[in-house]
Amino acid sequence: MNVEMVYLWRAVDHEGEVLESYITRIRDKAAVLRFMKKKLKRHGSPEAIATDGR
């Protein structure tokens, strides 16, 4: 069985609908910041940002 660890990044609206998702093999801060900036431009400023705490 081949198992590979991946990280899932999601942009979710206030109703819980997934707006966009992004999967990476490593925790790449620069790539995630680009993802967030694109989502902020497209969907506007969020009321809150939730993270896994790492």
Torsion of CA 40, 42, 44, 47, to 10 degrees: -60
Q: b/e map of 20-31 (b: 16 or more CB within 10 Å)?
A: eebeeeeeeeee
pLDDT at residue number 42: 87
Residues spanned by the domain of 23 = 7-43
Task: Classify 41 in phi/psi space as left (phi over 0), alpha (psi -120 to 50) or beta.
Answer: alpha
Per residue in 1-54, pLDDT (tens digit) is 789 988 888 888 878 888 888 888 888 788 888 888 888 888 888 887 777 766
| Structural domain total, the chain | 1
Answer whether residue 51 is part of any domain.
no
pTM of the model: 0.60
Q: Which residues have C-beta within 8 Å of that of residue 32, sequence separation ≥ 6?
A: 9, 22, 24
Answer whether residue 16 is part of any domain.
yes
Q: What is the DSSP letter of 53?
A: -
Answer whether residue 53 is part of any domain.
no
